[in-house]
Amino acid sequence: MNGAESLLTTLINNDVNVCFTNPGTSEMHFVAALDEVEGMRCVLCLFEGVISGAADGYARMARKPASTLLHLGPGLGNALANVHNAKKGYAPMVNIVGDHATYHLQYDAPLTSDIEGIAGPVSHWVHTSEAPEDIARDTAEAVRQAGKNQIATLMLPADVSWSDNPNGPENSVDIGTLPLASNDRIEEAVKILQSDGNCMIMIGGPEITKEIGLKASRLARACGARICTDVFPTRQARGAGTAVIDRLPYLAEFAIDTLKDLNHLILIGAKSPVSFFAYPNLPSTLSPENCDEHIVATPQEDIEKALDSLLLRLNAEHIAPEVHPLNVHDRPAGDLDANSSAMTIAHFMPEGAIVTDEAITSGIALAPFTATARPHDWLNQTGGSIGWGLPAAVGAAIACPDRKVICLEGDGSAMYTIQSLWTQAREGLNITTIIYANRSYAILKAEYANMGAGSPGPQAMAMIDIDRPTIDWIAMAKSMGVPAVAVETAEDFVKAMQNSAREPGPALIEVRL
């Protein structure tokens, strides 16, 4: 058994059985091992940003890591934006990065680079396997590190891959359980929640399940506190039967207004709220100066058990939570705008749908209209690096093949990872991609003013608009094997969503706003 075969077997022994890849010369023995070792589903992607985004979406829905196989430093470099997003969302990932043979590095060949240096800023654990007898052990450690909701990046030199590994593969590793929040933090939070101050509970972390949301709602109602999530929850159960929990607004001035009267902010899996960017005359931290922030549980700790402990101490386990009723909106008619498009999506969203949301400015009406839709999971863009939505939908669909995936995507961000459509078609994935075609980076028009830069002139607008030439989304989708249609009225969008619901497999709808 060579090093690549022992690596692959070790991944499979640890239930890491999906690999997103675009291999090169150094990874050919890993590719060859796919025909020798059963149990790995390898998914070809045409750009590394699709690979890492798909691994992120898969991890969020499968609740376990996928692996990626990347080609040397440049391949890892192409993947970094969505590895960054995954890291910010606490999504586990095992990156396998091929490298030159150990004896070849001294010659500084064109593709030679500092792979560990590239990996470091977006990884929690980085390691290079130096000998074939080490690779299975190192792979097992990478899986163990990723099991802590972390990014693990392992370099695989070509000679380590092709040489014999006398030690063979490793068995499954013990990842352990999430650490518990300390009793001191729990007790301090109980005192704060029982006080007379104006208090808000903020929930975050790798996932806000239905159960976590309901428990948080019970806790808030028990002590008269307000409740919200952080700005972009990684994964949140939403729709009928889930708890009524607002999201902290994205825009700094709105977030400041939301938090302005607080005396206490209880953080359970959420980080202290800060502005996405620095703006003239606005603070970077969003809580008021006289607000006491108290961390109950970090994102790396057991959030649900922290809630259980608080409910027990406050004798609030049986308090009824505030939940959303089922209220499916009627089909709209007339003009197609942010409201009518959101109503259409809410109407056709099936129970158990998975939504990947990178709609940006076009999605401003989605949250209120879908709050009472059929139960679904909502995945958000956690790291701010655009080009995440399309590949995340690929990963989510592979993790949950029996569930409909709806990808909400701005036209500007879609162009970063448009190759995702090819993988959707190749794998026959049940994804409906909705492209909001406003032909601009519309968020930048608002940010231009927010930054105090005034009104954009013609040269500035040329850096924001993407209408010269107009992108032909229908031709592009069809060229990669995805059926596509453009809609300009609410009735057209209703018909397109209806057809998409009837037909399994990928489809693209261009919403012309």
pLDDT digits (tens, 9 = 90+) for 27-62: 999 999 999 999 999 999 999 999 999 999 999 999
pLDDT at 180 over 80: yes
Strand partners, 414: none
**Whole-number Cα distances in Å, 343 to 116, 334, 373, 486:** 47, 12, 10, 18
Beta carbons within 10 angstroms of residue 368's beta carbon = 11
Q: What pLDDT score does 260 carry?
A: 94
Q: Locate the DSSP E strands across 240-333.
A: 246-247, 264-268, 292-297
Q: What average pLDDT does the chain have?
A: 95
pLDDT at 297 over 80: yes
Cα(267)–Cα(295) distance, integer angstroms? 5
* Residue type at position 253: E
Residue % of the chain over a pLDDT of 90:
89
Cα(436)–Cα(510) distance, integer angstroms? 6
Q: Enter the pTM of the model.
A: 0.96
| Assigned token pair, 423 | 């993988």
Q: Per-residue pLDDT averaged across 78-85, rounded?
A: 98
List b or e across 472-507, with b for residues whose CB sees 16 or more CB atoms inside 10 angstroms: ebbebbeebebbbbbbeebbbbbebbeebeeeebbb
Half-sphere exposure of 384 (CA within 13 A, CB side): 6
211: confidence class by pLDDT, cuts 50, 70, 90 = very high
Burial of 331 (0-12, 13-18, 19+ CB in 10 A): middle
pLDDT at 448 over 80: no
* Residue type at position 394: V
Question: 443 vs 152, which has greater pLDDT?
Answer: 152
* Residue type at position 425: A
pLDDT at 441 over 90: no
Q: Among the listed ranges 32-41, 84-93, 437-446, 485-494, which one has the minimum average pLDDT value?
A: 437-446
